Structure 1
Amino acid sequence: MRTFQHKVTINDMGAITIFGLGAFFCLWNRTNSLMVILGCLLIIVTIRAVDRAIHTSYVLTDDSALQIKTGRIGLTKHILLSEVKSVEKRPFAFHLGHYALIEMMNGSVVSVQPDNVDSFLSALKKRIEKKDNEV
């Protein structure tokens, strides 16, 4: 079993900052109850964004699966490596970093942002080749 942590990007930090400032503004200017409700909702969104940025991990298990744990609050997604069609490294907008794009046999795609994309891709490809050689 091998675990890769999520890379916190500038987009994550920007979203957390904007949600936090929005919550602060709404609770500072509580002229009506709608501002208080909106401020509380933005606090919840900010907490979820921080949790997702810090606690997301990608686990390659020994039983040929990839588990994507999106924070402590979020759900865990399981992907069988036998269903993976292709894996490639793609750049973010404005080339601010890279992410891994996983294409499934059924045509769906999953994007992951591990801290070390190259190491994640080599470990994932090695496990996919190992699974193909066993079959």
Structure 2
Amino acid sequence: MGAIVVFALGAFFCLWHRTNMLMVILGFLLIIVTVRAVDRAIHTKYVLTNDGVLKVKIGRIGKTTHIPLTDVKTIEKRPFAFRLGYYALIELMNGSVVSVQPDNVDSFMSALQKRIEKKDNEE
């Protein structure tokens, strides 16, 4: 959220002080970055399917990432910078990591843990 404010203020400053063409171009680029950041903040969805897949849809124009719950190695709750909030870090079996930022990190992690345990018990 803080980055969105910084980008918007930067765009406002560049378009207010349009002394040369570079400031105008930078202002419009910052507007594009701000719109993209707002889209990602508002329209990101996390869906747990019945077949054991976590679908992460990033924004309206972003791609969807499919994470099989059988590939999840660990799930950790980590703080943002200056402890302004928390996010969930999902480590996969192949060593890659995925960070997700749901509204309620604790309930998201508990639902994910329940689904993983359910999948382990079925196998």
User: Shorter-chain-normalised TM-score: which range?
Assistant: over 0.9
1:117 and 2:105 correspond = yes
Alignment of 1:37 onto 2:17: no
Decide which of 32, 52, 58 is 1:64's aligned counterpart: 52
Aligned pairs for 1:1-135 (under 5 A) are: 12=1, 14-135=2-123
Q: Deviations over 1:76-122 (max 9, x none)?
A: 11111110011122222332222111110011111111111111111
Structure 2 residue runs of 5 or longer lacking an equivalent are: none
Cα-Cα RMSD: 1.2
CA distance in 2, matches of 1:72, 1:115: 18
**Once superposed, which parts of structure 1, at least 4 consecutive aligned residues long, lie more than 4 Å away?**
none
Q: Distance in 1 between matches of 2:14 and 2:79?
A: 36
TM-score, structure 1 normalization: 0.85
1:42-99 per-position Cα deviation (integer Å, ceiling 9, x unaligned)? 0000000111111112111112111111111222111111100111222223322221
Identity percentage over the alignment? 77
Which structure would you say has the larger RCO, counting Cα contacts within 8 Å and 6 or more residues apart?
A: 1
User: What letter corresponds to residue 107 of structure 1 in structure 2?
Assistant: G
CA contact (8 A) 1:68 1:77 kept: yes
Cα separation, 2, equivalents of 1:52 and 1:68: 11
Counterpart residue identity of residue 73, structure 1: I
Task: Give the whole-Å Cα distance in 1 for the aligned partners of 2:76 and 2:21.
Answer: 48
TM-score by length of 2: 0.92
Compute the displacement of 1:134 (Å). Answer: 1.6
Secondary structure at the counterpart of residue 111 of structure 1: strand
Stretches of structure 1 that go unaligned for 5 or more consecutive residues are 1-11
